[in-house]
Amino acid sequence: MTVRVYLAAAQVLNEPPQPGDLVAERVFVHASELPEVWVETEHQAVPERGKAVAFALARPMGIGFERIVGTVERKVPKRESRAAKPAAPASS
């Protein structure tokens, strides 16, 4: 199950992944008056609120950063979308 991890004091770093980094499947930046950074991961051992965490992109992408570090602000299990669910077999 995917977990969305909101980060406080987030930083993106252009350095290679480190041992212990969790895999970041997706990274989001909401640059508004109340900016937010969150990472989506399949990793279930995300630290608790207030703890430091480090993520590394699932693969190098050449976008200027490979790691995201910060403090866990909150964790939200992401629900499976209806589009992602397999269709039920048709009954006759």
Q: Please give the C-alpha separations between residue 84 and each of 12, 42, 81, in angstroms, as whole numbers.
A: 30, 15, 5
Strands (E) in 1-92, as ranges, are 3-13, 22-24, 26-30, 36-41, 52-57, 67-77
Q: What are the boundaries of each domain within the chain?
A: 3-77
pTM for this predicted structure: 0.82
pLDDT digit string, tens, across residues 15-38: 999 999 999 999 999 999 989 999
Q: Identify any residues that bridge with 7 across adjacent strands, giving them in sequence order.
A: 37, 72
Query: Degrees (nearest 5) of the Cα angle 7, 8, 13?
Result: 70
pLDDT digit string, tens, across residues 1-13: 899 999 999 999 9
Q: Which two tokens stand for residue 10?
A: 């987030």
pLDDT band at 80 (very low <50, low <70, confident <90, very high): low
